[in-house]
Structure 1
Amino acid sequence: MTTALPAGPRPHRVGATPGPAGRGVGPLLRDWRERRRLSQLELALRAGSSARHISFVETGRSRPSEELILRLADHLDVPMRERNALLLAAGYAPRFPETSMDDPAMEGLRAGLDRLLQGYDPYPALVVDATYQVVAVNRGITMLMEGVSEELLVPPLNAMRVVLHPEGMAPRIRNLAEWRGHLLEQMERQIALDRSAVLRELYEEVAAYPVADGGESAADGASAPYFALPMRIEHDGRVLSFVSSISTFNTPMDVTVAELAVETFLPADRETADHLRALDG
């Protein structure tokens, strides 16, 4: 069984830090190019344009076509939400819709995600958006969240808060220092790529949570070397070990879909796999 979690009221989720009022498409494109550490010539060669034309666009001497904006955004790996912002800054209509997950048009997507999460049971799996708001979970995740404070489980749930908060899963994570460091580094990479003000605010919040002394390293008590950093968490008198994997949609055409991620937790050792199968039995 999967659980679709009510979204509740949300702020605008992601996007670049707002620039000066009236900022045109040229400076925005220059920001993305500099963030990707590309020269005007490198970008022009990739996009089938010329360095002169890219320079004219960035300085406002030339208005780029809609097609050129989308081509440059593709080569700059600009998030879909920000591609709409580039088009608006140039005076064009947004190209990509942003459809609520509750919209009837998303029924097929919701059903597909439910089947996917069910397929991972008894292994934990969940769906989150770009700021780690939880969209849906399976039974495996609800098992790991046993003992989490009720306040943290009030929608909208945030996966980073549930994991790292002192009243969340953190006290039961045996290698919390390592796992916390991994999650914070993951958020830092996202902020560097997308420059999301909302994600930065979340990062500053969870990074400030107090961390108890002690714990263990990932390999402490391990019977064999791990192939990836595991999360070692206490549950029902045992220590379970999981490695995580994150999947996204390959060719999204909607902002909401582009910002979804499916995270799965696979057993890192035989004991964990056996325990989960026994619970599922």
Structure 2
Amino acid sequence: MDRAATPGFGLQLRHWRHRRGLSQMALALAAEVSARHLSWLEADKSQPSRAMVLRLAERLDLPLRERNGLLMAAGYAPMYGERGLDDPALAPARGALQRLLDAHEPAPALAVDRHWNLVAHNRLVPLLLQHAAPALLQPPINVLRVSLHPAGLGGMVDNLPAWRDHVLARLQRQIVASGDARLVALHEELRALPCPDPGPHTGTDPAPGDGFDDVAQSLRLHTPLGPLCFITTLTVFGAPHDVTLSELAIETLLPADADTAARLRDLLASH
């Protein structure tokens, strides 16, 4: 990282406070410091202690990567390590991750990094993606792109307008939390993908997703196997001390009905 091009501590602190929608007084009260002292920190008129940087980062609910950035801007070493997922030190976590993905079979389950690139999966995921265009399956595979692209799963999603809105809203929340420019670019790319008009909806229309959309957004696919209906869950590592682990998320596509569960069992048994 070019330290000369990196914003100073005060500017970063003010940026994150504004992003979280907090006044100086509100953050000062949360961090148990005076508003005057916080003002001096934001103006770089006072040097924060390492403990103060960490306290402010916690009150601002910063991801571990951004906490490291705030520490370095204040002149301190980063607190949280960042190893590649293939690092031997992460072997226990990597093994636990794969066991968790495999345990969800015959439901598709996959792990993604902070930019929604596929890093691990169980046996169902390649089978679900086998009809996607090869260009979309070149590493790194971005699962949000594949899910919305007309040459990926997008052409198979029956409720694409609703699913697209769900994906974009989830991505926007992640952008607010992290401020990641690559996620902003991904959001713009996905918004530009073609999507059919959802059309008018009346109270007499059948409830989509057999009622599941009343409590959670479903994903409904028409496939050569027949219709598949899923509800999704996201799981993260609890209390990680490594940046890589903190940014991993596990998404599971749970069958929303008995027919989907049976089709997935048959699919797995045939391969």
Q: TM-score, normalised by structure 2?
A: 0.90
How far has the Cα of 1:44 moved from its partner?
2.0
Q: Which is further off, 204-213 or 142-151?
A: 204-213
2:13 to 29, 33, 37: 29
- Distance in 1, Cα, partners of 2:115 & 2:37: 36
- Distance in 1, Cα, partners of 2:260 & 2:105: 13
Gapped regions of structure 2 (runs ≥ 5)? none
Q: Contact 2:236/2:250 (CA < 8 Å) preserved in 1?
A: yes
How far has the Cα of 1:223 moved from its partner?
7.9
Structure 1 residues 19 and 189 mapped into 2: Cα distance closer, same or farther (>3 Å)?
farther
2:77 to 93, 101, 120: 93
- Distance in 2, Cα, partners of 1:279 & 1:160: 23
1:188 to 159, 172, 175: 172
Structure 1 residues 41 and 20 mapped into 2: Cα distance closer, same or farther (>3 Å)?
farther
Gapped regions of structure 1 (runs ≥ 5)? 1-11, 13-17
Are 1:205 and 2:189 an aligned pair?
A: yes
Corresponding position of 2:253 = 265
Corresponding position of 2:238 = 250
- Distance in 1, Cα, partners of 2:194 & 2:208: 27
- Distance in 1, Cα, partners of 2:245 & 2:199: 38
**Equivalent AA in structure 1 for residue 13 of structure 2:** L
- Distance in 2, Cα, partners of 1:195 & 1:144: 32
- Distance in 2, Cα, partners of 1:252 & 1:223: 35
Corresponding position of 1:75 = 59
Q: What's the RMSD between the two structures over aligned residues?
A: 2.3
Which runs of at least 4 in structure 1 moved beyond 3 Å after TM superposition?
18-22, 212-217, 219-224, 278-281
- Flag the structure with more relative contact order, 1 or 2, with Cα contacts below 8 A and sequence separation at least 6: 1
User: Which of the pair is proportionally richer in helix?
Assistant: 2
- Distance in 2, Cα, partners of 1:43 & 1:141: 44
**Equivalent AA in structure 2 for residue 240 of structure 1:** L
Q: TM-score, normalised by structure 1?
A: 0.87
Structure 1 residues 77 and 221 mapped into 2: Cα distance closer, same or farther (>3 Å)?
closer
Q: Contact 1:129/1:261 (CA < 8 Å) preserved in 2?
A: yes
Query: Between the two proteins, what is the percent identity of the paired residues?
Result: 44
- Distance in 2, Cα, partners of 1:89 & 1:235: 51
Secondary structure of the equivalent of 2:241?
coil
Corresponding position of 1:118 = 102
Q: Contact 1:176/1:215 (CA < 8 Å) preserved in 2?
A: no
Q: Contact 1:177/1:215 (CA < 8 Å) preserved in 2?
A: no
Structure 1 residues 19 and 272 mapped into 2: Cα distance closer, same or farther (>3 Å)?
farther
Secondary structure of the equivalent of 1:30?
helix
How far has the Cα of 1:56 moved from its partner?
1.2
Q: Contact 1:124/1:264 (CA < 8 Å) preserved in 2?
A: yes
CA offsets, 1:248-274, max 9 Å, x none?
Answer: 122111111111000111111222122
Q: Which is further off, 168-177 or 33-42?
A: 33-42
Structure 1 residues 188 and 278 mapped into 2: Cα distance closer, same or farther (>3 Å)?
same
Q: Contact 1:123/1:276 (CA < 8 Å) preserved in 2?
A: yes
- Distance in 1, Cα, partners of 2:209 & 2:193: 32
